[in-house]
Structure 1
Amino acid sequence: MAVSSSLGPTDGYLAIAVQEWGNEYYVITHDEGRSQVAITASEAMTSVLVTLPPGCVLVMDEVEVMAPEYVNVTLDQFEVLLLQADTDLTGTYIQADKPVGVVSGNRFIGGRTHLVEQPLPIKTWGRNYVSAPNSDSHWGPVDTYRIISSLYDTNILVGNRSYNIEVSGAWLDVNIGTLVKIVSDKPVMVMKFSSSSISGTPTCMAVLVPEEQWRSRYTFITPLAFNKHWVTIVAHTDKVQSIILDANPIQAQWSSVPGTNISVGVREVSEGSHYLDGSGNHAVYLSGAGNGLAAYCYPAGMGVDTINTKNLSTYKRKHTSAPDPRVSARALGTFGVVILISAVCILIAIDLPVLCHDVINLAPSKRPRMDRRIR
């Protein structure tokens, strides 16, 4: 895990091991403050293409770049590309020819707090999620869940409410204050934003763990300098009794997720390292609160299996065609059409005299037909 601090306000994230990094990401940030994305190469000579949201005003080396469509760079091993913008960078698409790590978040939210999280590689996204509300009064009663899809025409069910994401890289925000299951017919990534109950300012962001990436065993450590720490467990109801925390049956306050066989348990834990185990797979989240706006929330661990490579947009682009709204793409398409039409017209013009000659020769004769019958 990694904890980021900025003059009091804090946040953290579960750091993904370098060997589990991916080649393809979509980014989620908040729409307040300065958005930022950091991309780190795992190998030398890594080519990275970043496609940015329309209308983005990018800040690179403190210089504003107005509405760029993309950034294309080559990075050395462990070299970092930092992109910042005063607009929301959600939907930024990252492609690399070698594995890269990505961290995203925001600075100067409300002038005081910041957010940070490590987005999941697209290859690890799932279809089944469960909301994980924070339990303490430090946070407000409602969290904002941002859901992003890498594919076209994605249908999503949040509790009993239906949504549709029409294009890849698009997203939707859903405010949730209860336990609900989030189900999608195509892989998605879900990010939770939790806000202070006093100021309403977002104080932490956490990526949700898809059910496909739940695990049975977790070892985790809580960060220092916080007043309280909580662990939230999302598990199948029939496996709850088997879960142990630090070699003892877990004593948690459990609630059922309506319409499912899943329960969510919350309990306070002490500062330090802990071990959690069970007979079935489950998700585990950590959260904590300190003085003022100091807070953190992130997963305690997760699997990073490649669930289905055929759902990656790189695979889809190789086997299907899809519209590209970029101005450069439209210009190239128009130029290609003009070239094709011009080539056809030139060929017709070259062959036109020969064609006219052949047509004339094939035309029926106008001379009167001779009657060869013998009277």
Structure 2
Amino acid sequence: MKQIYTSLQKSFATGAPVKFFSVLLYFYLLPAFEGLTEQYIFSFLTVNCGVGTTTEIFIGTKFFDVGAFGYISFPLLSIQHMTFDLQPGSGKIFSLSPDVDSSEDKLNQTLHTAVAISANEEVVVYGHQRCISGSFRGSAFSVKGIKDLGTDYWVITHQSKGVSQVGIVSTANNTNVVINGMYFNKILNLNKYETFYLGGYYDLTGTHITSNKPVLVLAGNSADTTPNSGTGYEDSFYECFPPVRDWERYFSLVPFPKSNLPFTVKILSVHDRCNIQFDDNSGNLTEVSLGKGKNLDLQSIGNLTINSSEVILVAQFSQGEYGNAEGGNPSMLLTPPYESATRNEFIFPVFGFFEVGRNERNYIDIWLPPGGQTSDILLDNETVAWQKIGENINGYTIVRSTLTSYGLHTLQSDTNITAVVYGFGDFRFHAYSLS
């Protein structure tokens, strides 16, 4: 609310035109705005375009029967706040100023680009960036709320060509942050809304980040090829990371849509003698042991189930095509733990690529627990056709369907489920799990 008031003060002080109705509306809504809860503080990393970017966020109600109103603010930037008023079970995409974007020439510096979202009820937030034209890159991710943040993180990135990048966003003043890694070590102090943006031409996987107060951590790459294939098709990707306390032991992976190429899997352990078992659903079992802070890279062409004796972090990377990019560009997905699903209803977006004349497609995958039926699933309030693409060794069925429009979508099930959305055109590809 302070930012709204300050913005109005600046408008009057500089003589900028402010409509009388807007001023009256501000004071009318002041009591309601003062009671809002700040739910999200986050930043965007770099999508290496060489040209301008389109930066968007989707805000949706968390529940189908509860609406929400609030505002988007930019506490350390001179950008006017944006308000929203959502009906139950709805959401909206907002375009943001390019001033919120990071850039590689500001690596290893403290930035003031954070976005904050306050609302009267719980909301869900997703972020999206894409190049306006030219290099055709983009990324999308699910944003973690303040209540889901922590003080102990390890990150996974990928680096074969582009800049590996990590963003650390502070949610409180006097936040002490310690960064320990193979290539980068630093102790720093951040105030609320500040972002430390680090990276370089090296893989930051295994970097350990601790703090005395909750922070948000994002990591990925500004424009990379995956794996080290020499393909010319690069893409930007990054994800919002969970604190170690929310890591899990059981994961189920499937190939990315429309790609016949192997996908890369990275696994990170924070415990000594972490025993990990892989099952490719054909009876072939492989076991490995990882130590604290160690990671494992592997490639798979088909479905893969991962069971671990200790909690681990798992990331999945798609591979760029060789001859043409129709099968997807490089992308990153933090694999959600399928046995820990806690929700059965989702309000989520499909972000558009808007590649005129190109083959854009969007898909959704769902992990159904034993006994779950696709007939019990409503996608946009309708029963739709689902393609079975696998069943893991623990009895979960994985099904896939298409999403044929941009913007708001809804998903409902009789049982708690895990879901992932994939979107791609000829020259961009992204994936994100639903929150």
What is the TM-score with the length of structure 2 in the denominator? 0.62
| Partner in structure 2 of residue 208 of structure 1 | 335
User: Which of the residues 176, 179, 201 maps onto 1:50?
Assistant: 179
| Partner in structure 2 of residue 35 of structure 1 | 164
Structure 2: distance between partners of 1:78 and 1:216 = 32
| Partner in structure 1 of residue 216 of structure 2 | 101
Amino acid corresponding to residue 121 of structure 1 in structure 2: P
SS in 2 for 1:123: helix
* Larger Rg, first or second structure (1 or 2): 1
Structure 1 residue 17 corresponds to structure 2 residue 133: no
Q: Return the offset for 1:5.
A: 2.2
CA offsets 1:271-293 (integer angstroms, 9 cap, x no match): 2211111122211101111132x
| Partner in structure 2 of residue 143 of structure 1 | 263
Say whether the 8 Å CA contact 1:165–1:171 is kept in structure 2: no
| Partner in structure 2 of residue 118 of structure 1 | 240
Structure 1 residue 285 corresponds to structure 2 residue 420: yes
Structure 2: distance between partners of 1:35 and 1:50 = 15
| Partner in structure 2 of residue 158 of structure 1 | 278
| Partner in structure 1 of residue 128 of structure 2 | 3
Q: Return the offset for 1:230.
A: 0.7
Runs of 5+ unmatched residues, structure 1: 57-67, 302-375
User: Which of the residues 85, 91, 99 maps onto 2:200?
Assistant: 85
Structure 1 residue 195 corresponds to structure 2 residue 328: no
Structure 2: distance between partners of 1:75 and 1:43 = 8
Say whether the 8 Å CA contact 1:193–1:202 is kept in structure 2: no
Matches within 5 A, 1:212-231: 212-214=339-341, 215-226=343-354, 227-231=360-364
Structure 2: distance between partners of 1:203 and 1:88 = 16
| Partner in structure 2 of residue 345 of structure 1 | none
Structure 2: distance between partners of 1:258 and 1:40 = 37
Structure 1 residue 259 corresponds to structure 2 residue 388: no
Q: Return the offset for 1:92.
A: 0.1
| Partner in structure 1 of residue 53 of structure 2 | none
User: Which of the residues 238, 248, 252 maps onto 2:371?
Assistant: 238
Structure 1: distance between partners of 2:381 and 2:413 = 11
Higher deviation after alignment, 6-15 or 123-132: 6-15
Say whether the 8 Å CA contact 2:175–2:190 is kept in structure 1: yes
Structure 1 residue 129 corresponds to structure 2 residue 251: yes
| Partner in structure 2 of residue 75 of structure 1 | 190
Structure 1: distance between partners of 2:422 and 2:373 = 20
| Partner in structure 1 of residue 298 of structure 2 | 174
User: Which of the residues 403, 408, 411 maps onto 1:273?
Assistant: 408
CA 1:213–1:258 in structure 2 vs 1: closer, same or farther (change >3 Å)? Answer: closer
| Partner in structure 2 of residue 365 of structure 1 | none
Structure 2: distance between partners of 1:135 and 1:108 = 21
Say whether the 8 Å CA contact 1:109–1:202 is kept in structure 2: no
Higher helix share: 1
Structure 1: distance between partners of 2:333 and 2:339 = 17
How many residue pairs are counted as aligned between the two chains? 284
Say whether the 8 Å CA contact 1:140–1:197 is kept in structure 2: no
Amino acid corresponding to residue 331 of structure 2 in structure 1: C
Say whether the 8 Å CA contact 2:363–2:423 is kept in structure 1: yes
CA 1:165–1:12 in structure 2 vs 1: closer, same or farther (change >3 Å)? Answer: farther
Structure 1: distance between partners of 2:169 and 2:339 = 26
What is the TM-score with the length of structure 1 in the denominator? 0.72
Q: Return the offset for 1:29.
A: 0.4
CA offsets 1:261-314 (integer angstroms, 9 cap, x no match): 11111111122211111122211101111132x11111122xxxxxxxxxxxxx
Which has the higher relative contact order, 1 or 2, with Cα contacts under 8 A spaced 6 or more apart? 1
SS in 1 for 2:206: coil
Say whether the 8 Å CA contact 1:155–1:162 is kept in structure 2: no
Q: Return the offset for 1:116.
A: 1.0
Say whether the 8 Å CA contact 1:140–1:194 is kept in structure 2: no
Say whether the 8 Å CA contact 1:11–1:203 is kept in structure 2: no
Q: Return the offset for 1:195.
A: 1.4
Q: Return the offset for 1:237.
A: 4.2
Q: Return the offset for 1:18.
A: 2.0
SS in 1 for 2:147: helix
Amino acid corresponding to residue 132 of structure 1 in structure 2: V
Structure 1: distance between partners of 2:152 and 2:291 = 17
Say whether the 8 Å CA contact 2:338–2:367 is kept in structure 1: no
Amino acid corresponding to residue 118 of structure 1 in structure 2: C
